[in-house]
Structure 1
C-alpha cells in the first residue's frame, strides 16, 4: 500500500499543480468580451468556410494531377482554422488597441496557427492514418507548450522510472525512443519506396530479383530502425542476449510452418523459379490450381485463377510439390488435341483442313505453324493429333483448345469429313439356323 502511494504521489502532485495553474489562467485571462469575440469569429469562419469548400471542391474536380488534388484537399480541410485564426488576429488588434485583456484569444490563435502548420506538413506523409496520428500528436505537444506546461510534463514523465539490475529507464525515455523509432521506420519505408521505384525502372533485374532486393532492404532497415530506437532510450542490447536462445527455440517450435514459408519464399525469389506474371499449375489437394502469379508474399503466393478468384498458396507447398510453370523460360506453349476421322474419309484432305482450321484461330501462332499427325488406327476411327502453339497462356489454355475444336468441326462438316463414334454390329442367329449348323 505504501509503495502504491509513493508511485502515484508524483502524479497527484502534478494534477494539483495543473489545477492551480489552470485556475490562475482562467481568472486572469478570460473575459466576457474575449468569449464574445471568440464565438463571433467562429461563426463568421463557419459561414465563409462553406463557400471556400465549395470553391475548392469545384477546382479539385477539374484537375487530374495527384499532387495538386492533394494540396486542394488539404486546403479545403484547413480553410476553417485559417479563416478563424485570421478573425482572431483582427480581434486581438482591436482589443489590444482598446487596452482589453487578450490572453484567451492569443492562446486560441497560437493553437490554431500550430494546427494549420502541422496539417500542411503532414500532407508529405502518404498514409492517411499515419498523417492523422502525426498531426494530432504534434498538435497536442504544441498545445502543451503553448500553455507553458511542456517542461513540467517532461519532468514528471522523467520522474516515473522503471528500474532493475540491468535496466533503468523512465517513461520519458520510452516516449523518446518510440518517437525516434517511428521517425526511423517512416524514413526506412520512404527509402524502400524510392529504391523500389528505381528497381522497377531497371531493365537489368528480373522481377524476382527486384522483389527479393526490396524485401531484404525493408527487413534490414526495419531492424536498424528498431535497434537505433532502443539504443536512443539507453537500453543495453546485450541484456537480450540471455533470452535470445530461449526465444529462438520458442519461435522455432511454435512457428515452424510460418518460418518454413518465409524461407521458401526467399528461396523462390533467389532461384527465380516463380516470379510475378508467371502462369503456373499446381495440385493443392482440392484439385489443380491454374492461374497467373500476381504477388509473391512473405508467406504465400497469390495466384489469380481464370474464374477471377485469387488463391493464396503457401510458399512451402510450392517448394515441396511439383509445379508446372507454363512461362518459366518463355511464354511459348504447345497444345495438343485429338480428333478422329472415318476410315472412308479422304485422309490427306483431313490432315490439311485440320491444320487450316487451327490456323484460323486468332491466338494460334503462325510460327511455329500448326501441324496434324496420324497417331494410330483405332477401333472406330483414324486418330489424328493437331498441335499448335500459343504465346499467351495467362489468357487460358482450355478455351483455345475449345476454339480449335469448334473450328475443326465446322471445317470437317464443310468438306463432308465424318467424325465417327464407336458403334457395334450385332448379328442375330435364329434357332433353326443354329440347329442346321450343329447337324
Structure 2
C-alpha cells in the first residue's frame, strides 16, 4: 500500500487548506468592514438631525415673539380708541362752554351799554318794553350763574378724564363719567343757543331803536378741537416651545446612549430657558413700573411747564389786572379780610383768596371787598376792576387768577 502512495495528493490537500483559510479570513474581514459601519452612519445622521431641529426651534421662537409683539400693539391701539373718543368729547364740551360764557359776557356788556345809551332812554318810555328788558336781564343773569356752576362741575370731570386716559387704558372709560360729560354738552349747547338768540334780539333792538339798517350780529365763534394722542409703546416677551424628539424604534437599542445624552441636554436647556424667561419677566415688570413712574413724572412736568408758559404769556395782563394780588406787603389779608402782620413782605395768599369767596362768579361783592382790603394794606391797585356792574372785567380777572394760580405760586407771585 505504501509503495502505491502518490505524493501529489498531499500537496493538493495542503494547498486547498491554505486557500480555504485565506477565504475565511477575507470573509471575516469583509463582514467586520461592512457590518460595523451602519452603526456609525446612523449616529452621525442623528446628530445632524438634532442640530437641524435646534435651529428650527430657534427660528420658531423668534417668529412667535414677533407675532405676539404685533398682536399686543394692535390690541393696545384698539383699547386706546374709547379714551381718544372721550377726550374728543371733553374738548367739544370745553368749546361749547367757552362759547356760551363769551355770549353771556357780551350780553352783559351790551345790556349795560343799552341802559346808558339814547336807545335805552327810548325803551324807558314804553312800559311793556321796560318789563321785557328787565325780565331778559334777570334771565341772563340766572343763566350766567348756572353756566358758572356747570363750568366748575366740568372742570373736575375734564381733570378726571385726562388723568385716567394717561393711566391704564386696558379698561373702558367710566360709563358714569361719559354720561356726565354728554349731559354737560347738552346743557351747555342749550345755553349757547339761547344766548346766541338773545344776542341777536338785543342787536336787533339796538338797530331798530337807532334807525340803523345794518345786519344783525350773532356772536357765535368756533373753537378748535384739541387732540391728545399719546403713542402706544410695544412690549413683547419671547415664549419658547420645545418639541420632543421621537427616535426611530428600529435603531433604539443602538442609539440609546446618544438619546439619553440628548434628553439630558434638552432638560438642561429647558431649565435654563425657564430661568431666563423668569428673569426676563421680572425685568419687564420692573421696567414697566419704572416707565410708569417716569411717564407720570413727565406728565406732571409737562403740565406744570405748560401752565408756566401760559402764565408767562399772560404776565402783562397779570401785572396789570391782578396788581393787588402780586404786590408785596408786610401785612397779609385773611379769608375774612382780617390783617395779619408778616415778617417779610409777601404777595397775597391763594388760600385766603379762595376762602374769601372773591372768585365766586355769581357775586362781585366779595371780589371788590378783598381787592379793597389788599389795597388798604399797602398794595398797589393797578388796573384791577372793582365795579360790581363790570361783569366782563371782573369775570375775566377771576378766570385769569383761577387759570394761573398754581403757576403764580411757583413763580412767587402768590403764596400758598
- TM above 0.5, one fold? no
Instruction: State TM-score, norm by structure 1.
Output: 0.21
Indicate the structure with greater strand content: 1
Larger radius of gyration: 2
Higher RCO (CA < 8 A, seq sep 6+)? 2
